[in-house]
Amino acid sequence: MLKNIAAVCLLAFAITPALAQGEKPEKVLKIISSLPRTGSANAQTTTMVNGIQLAIDEVNGKVGDYTIVYEDMDDASPQRGNWDPAVEAQNANKAARDESVIAYIGTFNSGASKISMPVLNKAGLLMISPAATYPGLTKPGKGEANEPKIYRPTGKINFFRVVPADDLQGFVAAEWAKDMGVKKVYILDDRELYGKGIANVFENHAKELGIEVLGREGIDPKASNFKSLATKIKAAAPDMVYFGGTTQNSAGQIAKDLHTANATPKFMVPDGCFEKAFIEAAGAENVNGSAYITFGGLPADKLTGRGAEFRANYKKKYNLKENEEPEGYAVYGYEACKVLLDAIPKAKTKDRAGILQAVSETKNYNGALGIWSFDENGDTTNTTMSGNTVENGEFKFVKALGK
């Protein structure tokens, strides 16, 4: 039995390079995206993939003499209904091995970036995330002590993001809560990298602003309901509950149970819940006028300049109705791909190293998200954020938030 397995493995190794060579005609640059396409993040990631495709179609799939090939990979598994560490690792390894791949657009979840970053760093492959916002991925001193070094085994920076990180989002969320007159808050998180991280930032800044933190705990995201927790929160009587987490990790059920228990009028969540699936999972009646959602950018209909052009082109290409808008992250998918395509002509050599170098030198880029640069950590210098609420089962922009 073991012998058979060994034989199959050997065979697989023997075939892989042959296939890779076979798939690599001249003058092709391949872009891969690795996003959770199975599961409730699907609506978000579909619009991100659409955004990427739109950016490629705008240049007719060609940059100079090079043909751009795009592959949309899924890092979720049906068993989890959510991103899966094993699948993300597979995607990263596959991309690293395929020499025609010059960029990896992803990931959606910060926890997934943690897995693929070291693999792609060793391969010297450029990675641009449209959505992973955990600060420790790029910023020294904002995460664990050994972050972000552990993600950069070669010491070089290969991970960039076009979305502002959570040290800003959690910060402005706390400011917004203060503006709304919140005095006492109860903080929950989903115990994932992203959710726990942003809840920490929120908690720290809330305390600095003099908001009393009545409680802080991690939930079990797969629990069937949170009624006991809602009772506990009701007894503590906060003005607001802040949940650091995503739709996939039961944000909707928490909103529902808090509402059912009459526990609190206000429920604030970060951008991991800025998707229609959140309202659908919670039931509109449980979030109308009571849910507050921060987002690391502006909703599509508030974008100006190139952003407004993007919105018009997107709506036309994907046949959206007059009252339909792309989901919040569509423009980030677009921007991640666009900044890459615009950097390729500047690259001295059209290979991984050359293109990585060209992207890292992006300064004062005039894109759909405004004029921005990549800083020394690979973060965007953009700090525009928005606060949204829910009205009649739809997201409604309240105001722009900024540092």
Partner 1 sequence: MIVSQAAVSESVAPVAMGWGDVLSQQLITGVSNGMIIAMIAIGYTMVYGIIELINFAHGDLCTLGSFLALTLVGALGMEAWAGMGGTAAVVTLLISSAVFCGALNWTIDRVAYRPLRGKPKLALLVSAIGCSFILVNIALFWGGLPMEVFGGGNQAAAPKDFPSLISNENLLGAKSAITVTWRDLFVVIVTVPLMIGLTWLVKSTRLGKAMRAVAQNPTAAALMGIDVNRVIGSTFLIGGALGGFASVIYALYNNTISFQMGYRTGMDAFTAAVLGGIGSLPGAVVGGIVIGLVRALSDGYIEARWTNSVVFGILILTLVFRPSGILGAKLREKV
Is residue 234 part of the contact set for partner 1 (CB under 8 A)? yes
389, amino acid identity: T
Subset of residues 382 to 401 that bind partner 1, contact rule: CB under 8 A: 392
Is residue 225 a contact residue for partner 1 (CB under 8 A)?
yes
Q: Which of 137, 263, 273, 337 binds partner 1 (CB under 8 A)?
A: 263
Site for partner 1 in 155-194 (CB under 8 A): 191
Residue type, 314: Y
Question: CB–CB of 297/396 below 8 Å?
Answer: no
Which one of 59-67, 217-225, 308-316, 358-366 is the stretch in contact with partner 1 (CB under 8 A)?
217-225
Does position 345 interact with partner 1 (CB under 8 A)? The reply is: no
> What is the nearest approach in angstroms of partner 1 to the Cβ of residue 48?
14
60 binds partner 1 (CB under 8 A): no
DSSP 102-148: EEEE--SSHHHHHHHHHHHHHTT-EEEESS---GGGT-TTSSSTTTT
Residues 6+ apart with CB under 8 A from 326: 47, 50, 51, 300, 311, 314, 315, 318, 320
Q: Which stretch binds partner 1 (CB under 8 A): 20-28, 249-257, 354-362, 366-374?
A: 249-257
- Give the CA distances from residue 373 to residues 51, 133, 155, 161, in Å, rounded to whole numbers and listed in that order: 20, 17, 21, 10
Shortest gap between Cβ of 44 and partner 1 (angstroms)? 10
Task: Please list every residue from 75 through 134 that binds partner 1, using CB under 8 A.
Answer: 78-79, 81
CA dihedral of residues 292, 296, 299, 305 (deg, nearest 10) = 150
Q: Which stretch binds partner 1 (CB under 8 A): 14-22, 37-45, 98-106, 108-116?
A: 37-45
Q: Which is nearer to partner 1, 164 or 326 (CB)?
A: 326
As given in the structure block, the two tokens for residue 220 are 């079990």
**Does residue 256 belong to the site contacting partner 1 (CB under 8 A)?**
yes
Residue in the block written with tokens 């991309």: 95
- Strand 291-295 relative to strand 212-218, pairing: unpaired
Among 12, 26, 222, 322, binds partner 1 (CB under 8 A): 222
CA distance 197 to 34: 22
23 binds partner 1 (CB under 8 A): no
Does the footprint of partner 1 cover residue 247 (CB under 8 A)? yes
For 226-264, give one letter per residue: b (16+ CB within 10 A) or e.
Answer: bbebbebbeeeebbbbbbbbbbbbbbbbbbbbbbebebb
**Residue with smaller CB distance to partner 1, 4 or 224:** 224
Residues contributing to the site for partner 1 (CB under 8 A): 38-40, 42-43, 46, 78-79, 81, 191, 217-220, 222-229, 231-232, 234-235, 237, 247, 250, 252-253, 256, 260-265, 276-277, 280-283, 288-290, 392
